Chain A
Amino acid sequence: MAILKIGKTVLGSLFNKPATLMYPVIPREYKELTRGHIDIVMEDCILCGICSRKCPTNAITVDRAAKTWSIQRMQCIQCSCCVDVCPKKCLTNESTYTTPDVIKIVDTFEQPEKPAAAGAATSPATSPATADTAAAPAPSADATLKVNDTCVFCTLCAKKCPVGAITVDREAKTWSVDNDACVKCGVCVEACPKKSLELS
């Protein structure tokens, strides 16, 4: 019996395909969810810096002055935390790995100049409108932030604002937004416990 069993195993091993892949001749198959590397669509990025602050390993650096977003590939642990917190959803998790190298790679992405006629959807241009004007309900890139009278001046929006554009004075019960600084990320709208804020 033992001979039959071992004979079967030997024959199987002789004629079966090897259990390992002949890498790199046969490339590795990635699964749909594989966390390979983080990619960014720079056109949509508003350089708010939330990804950089939430990154557990400080792998991401956002330079608002130079308009660049950079990532240290060796430091990134592919936890996808940045993908989750990005208010504009411009970060994605790609299933392929970056090419290997002998040095620690830092990938820097520059924000392209805003094309004037490239369509309004990807253009968060500075809005000429004031905070008090009425607008359409659909939020868009050149929307303005408005507050209604249900506001309780809890300051949560100001605390959550990635660029510090919101000022709330609890004593004087005033709420104001610096429209030039506001990046329309919608973080404050999401954070508001009274749902008093609207981006429209």
Chain B
Amino acid sequence: MAKRTIIPFGPQHPVLPEPVHLDLVMEDETVVEAIPSIGYIHRGLEKLVEKNEWPEMVYVIERICGICSFGHGWGYCKSVEGNLGIEVPKRAEYLRTIWHELSRCHSHLLWLGLLADAFGFESLFMHCWRIRETILDIFEDTTGGRVIFSVCKVGGVRKDISNEKLAEIAKILEGIKKETAEICDVFIEDGSVKSRLVGIGTLSYDEAVELGAVGPMGRASGVAQDIRTDGHGAYSELESFAPVVETAGDSYARCLVRIGELKQSMEIIIEAIEKIPDGELEVVIKGKNPEGNFVARLEQPRGEAYYYSKGNGSKFLERIRVRTPTNANIPALVKTLQGCDLADVPILILTIDPCISCTER
């Protein structure tokens, strides 16, 4: 038996956008075991609910993460709206859906870029981020922020997008669709890309179910689970769509799932723009405070997220709790790392699309 050594990986590592630490137990070049540890970026955002009144708390919750920030705001609002027992106007639901799906597009483009960067394909990385830039411009144009939008509020949305601007967005998306098709071809067909992804870090269907993998990580292993198909927001009124599923369970399959979702998201946005009704943007909530418990679920770009809120009838919520997809995917990551080469570790960490600031809040 070869001698075992432990290599500390992270929290500072060129491939990691955020700090996570792994102790890699090695036998020669092969990883035998990976022991993860987190706790480098905890900010105590959930505790702040005691200091901020519930209508203002949404601006804090949005800052859990810089990539899926809109989803966090929406999840919190859904949870508090459930507590208050109010229904959000249709136009607001459509606008939320559009912004959320645009977030998914930019998140997946960001991830594709990071993946290309991880296996050393710099120009592909730059092209992915160049396309992503167009989506960030849409955000700035419609919400005023490129990363944090602050448009979602309990009861609706703060800003409207005029129908002319929506048509403009649909036009821009058509252009993005063409450009992404070119980029995605490289990911799907290029030999050098395939050699770094195919068969690396395979997670079987049974393992994915057992370890509770969510989002693209689970769907790449054949777990056909997508909270959007439950029909929250405006999804119930859009044409039914099936989750993008692959069965191979390796890094290449995870890449294909995200490419599929990127295309699907753009279709959803274009359809939502066609179907968006006119009407109110928010319900005014006066003299009512949340009371009771409510759990809302949402499909974030990285997978399923939970938002729990507990109100006591005062202006301050008693507790909020967020469970993020990365948290659910860490056991699956540890499993895929077992038996892989040291050189593949960065790619495997990236394929779960880790967001540690979400996980720790």
Contact = CB atoms under 8 A, between A and B. Distances in A.
A27 to B, nearest CB: 15
B143 interface: yes
A56 interface: yes
A77 B144 contact: no
Contacts of A121: none
A54 B56 contact: yes
Interface in B121-146: 130, 137, 140-145
Interface of A: 19, 31-35, 54-56, 77-81, 84, 93, 95, 156, 191, 193
For the complex of A and B, the 6 pairs showing the least CB-CB separation, nearest first, are: A33-B144, A79-B59, A35-B144, A79-B150, A56-B56, A56-B59
Contacts of A81: 56, 59
Given A54-B56, A156-B287, A35 B130 contact: no
B150 A33 contact: no
Interface residues of B, number: 22
Given A19-B130, A54-B56, A56-B56, A77 B140 contact: no
Contacts of B48: 56
B110 interface: no
B56 A34 contact: no
Given A56-B52, A80-B158, A156-B287, 12 more contacts: A31-B140, A31-B144, A33-B142, A34-B145, A35-B145, A56-B48, A56-B60, A79-B150, A80-B144, A81-B56, A84-B158, A193-B287
Main secondary structure of the interface of B (DSSP, over half): helix
Interface of B: 48, 52-53, 56-57, 59-60, 63, 130, 137, 140-145, 148, 150, 158-159, 286-287
Nearest to B148: A77
Contacts of A54: 53, 56
Contacts of A32: 141
A145 B286 CA distance: 21
A34 B149 CA distance: 10
A56 B57 contact: yes
B163 to A, nearest CB: 17
Contacts of A84: 158
Contact of A78 (B130, B140, B142, B150): B150
Contacts of B141: 31-33
5 contacts: A19-B130, A32-B141, A77-B59, A78-B145, A84-B158
A77 B56 contact: no
A2 to B, nearest CB: 12
Contacts of B130: 19
Contacts of A93: 144
Contact of B150 (A31, A80, A95, A193): A80
Contacts of A79: 59, 150
B53 A33 contact: no
A95 B52 CA distance: 26
Q: Pick the most buried of A34, A55, A95, A191: most chain B CB atoms within 10 A of its CB.
A: A34
Nearest to B127: A19
A142 B110 CA distance: 55
Contacts of B57: 56
A34 B140 CA distance: 6
A197 to B, nearest CB: 14
A34 B148 contact: no
B54 to A, nearest CB: 11
A56 B51 CA distance: 8
Contacts of B287: 156, 191, 193
Contacts of A191: 286-287
Nearest to B61: A56
Contact of A34 (B59, B63, B144): B144
Contacts of A95: 144
Nearest to A34: B144
Contacts of B150: 35, 78-80
B139 to A, nearest CB: 10
Contacts of A56: 48, 52, 56-57, 59-60
